[in-house]
Chains A and B, each alone.
Chain A
Amino acid sequence: MLGKMEAIVVGGSWGGIDAVIKILSALPSDYKPTMIIALHRPKNVVNSLEGILKRYSKIPFSEPQDKEEIRFNHVYLAPSNYHLFIEKERIFSLDVSPPVNYFRPSIDVLFESAAEVYGKLLTGILLTGANKDGGDGMKTIAENGGFTIVQDPSTAASGIMPSAALRLIKPDFLGNIHSIIELISSGKEFIWQ
């Protein structure tokens, strides 16, 4: 069961856009925790993902600017061609250091820095994908006392990424996208401080 929660980080790759759309469509406009999403995406193309996802979100949605303060009741999307970090002052920072696991943004980079800042007040969700990014990040979230949710590989568009994470951790919750949505959107399931 989810405990007190300040933020949720979400990672996805192949098939991840559809899964994230399902999550965003389901969450109510007054959803309190900060949600920060890293999706693998091509670089140097006209940036439309922000516009697409925004249409499905009832919660305010944006790509963060460098050094922007992190708000509650807001969904953030990691910008294309940058790594996204969380600073302990609860602000975002970005860098363009080399891709990790071939990707920038890397899910591991976001998850590891979020785990260090939010500790047990963090929930990590790893969705569908066809590579192994995100596994180390989920492990760090678990080590820092956070709550870990992995999409059941058999229900994912590609099970490679969740399977890779399952080799590193035993998640607190394993399920299909609907059960994940039910868990994180049910106000009774967690106390938000």
Chain B
Amino acid sequence: MKAGNGKMVLEDDQIEDLFVSVKRRYGYDFTGYSEASIKRRLQKFIETSEIQSAGALRNHLLQDETFFRFFLDEITVNVTEMFRDPLFFASLKKNVFPLLNTYPFIKIWDAGCASGEELYSLAIFLDEDGLYGKSRIYATDISQRVLDKAMDGIYPIDLMKEYTGNYIHAGGKRSFSEYYTAMYGNAIFHSSLKKNVMFSAHNLAVDESFNEFNLIVCRNVLIYFKRQLQERVIELFLKSLPVFGFLALGNKETLSFSSFKNHFEEIDRLQKIYRRIN
């Protein structure tokens, strides 16, 4: 359908068809994604790619895997920042790290790590509290391209002013610039921060549990999923957490609507830090 301004507008059933075809061809399942948000990104993708019809988009995606990879990066959201929600990191330091420190070895899953800003924030705080040496962090994302960025750990230098503010606000103990080298307009984070990190592609919508963790950090990922898919992922986390394992969500994400909520207690109600209790 064309809107008055000549732009192609995708109908709901066309989007459904598209996602079913993509799932069959590539195994990526977007049918459980929150509609309003993914529809907006699909619409933007179409406006910038000069594709004329829903059928043309579908054919192009199915025939050209490179184009599909590009599409995947465009319609999944990979925007993140270091120490986003400083009070979350402050709470992690105060309420979770002391308990993690009682273990001889700490396993952490950063699920949906995107380009790694949250991962490095975590590593920095673990290091400052003397926990990094005995930690192993599994950083996963649906997109290999953003995982490559996460492995690089290189971010634009202009963002460091904001990130430094977040870091201080979160209770950072050092000077933030100690963690990176400034070069050619970029901040290159020290490779020691990733020496205990394993990077791997993992798709929460279709893949299974692969280990057990003392802490799972998955912030602002569930928001992209409808309740049914959220439920699948929460069950996946439950299977990946021993009793007393921690789960950290984004600060507007909640387990309140989940049938698994009774397996968890709230450690920090506002910052959405939970602990498995049974």
Contacts and interface: CB of A to CB of B under 8 A. Distances in A.
- Size class of A's contact patch? 20 to 34
Residue in A94, A98, A116 with the greatest tally of chain B CB atoms within 10 Å: A94
B77 interface: yes
B80 A96 contact: yes
Interface string B234-257: 000000000000000010111011
Contacts of B4: 143
A94 B79 CA distance: 14
Contacts of B230: 67
A46 interface: yes
Contact of A95 (B162, B223, B254, B256): B223
B227 interface: yes
Contact of A93 (B34, B162, B250): B34
Interface stretch (B59-67, B83-91, B171-179, B199-207): B83-91
Contacts of A93: 34, 36-37, 223
A8 interface: no
B84 A97 contact: no
Contacts of B169: 44
User: Counting chain B CB atoms within 10 Å of each CB, which of A44, A46, A88 scores highest?
Assistant: A44
A113 B252 contact: no
Contact of A94 (B41, B223, B226): B223
A66 B253 contact: yes
Interface string A116-158: 1100000000000000000000000001000000000000000
A66 B79 contact: no
Given A67-B257, A96-B223, A97-B41, A79 B85 contact: no
A113 B169 CA distance: 34
B55 interface: no
Interface core residue of B77, B84, B222, B223 (most chain A CB under 10 Å): B223
B75 to A, nearest CB: 10
A79 B77 CA distance: 18
Contact of A83 (B37, B80, B87): B37
A113 B224 CA distance: 15
Interface string A87-127: 11000011111100000000001001100110000000000
Q: Which of B4, B40, B166, B227 has the most CB of A within 10 A?
A: B40
A160 interface: no
B128 interface: no
A85 interface: yes
Contacts of A82: 220, 223, 252
Contact of B79 (A79, A96, A109, A112): A96
A98 B40 CA distance: 12
A44 B84 contact: yes
A63 B254 CA distance: 13
Nearest to A98: B79
A51 B230 CA distance: 29
Most buried by A among B37, B79, B220: B37
B36 A97 contact: no
Contacts of B34: 85, 87, 93, 95
14 contacts: A44-B162, A63-B252, A66-B252, A67-B254, A81-B84, A82-B220, A82-B223, A85-B37, A94-B37, A94-B220, A95-B37, A95-B224, A97-B79, A116-B36
- Per CB-CB distance, the 5 closest pairs between chain A and chain B, nearest first, are A85-B36, A93-B34, A95-B37, A113-B36, A66-B223
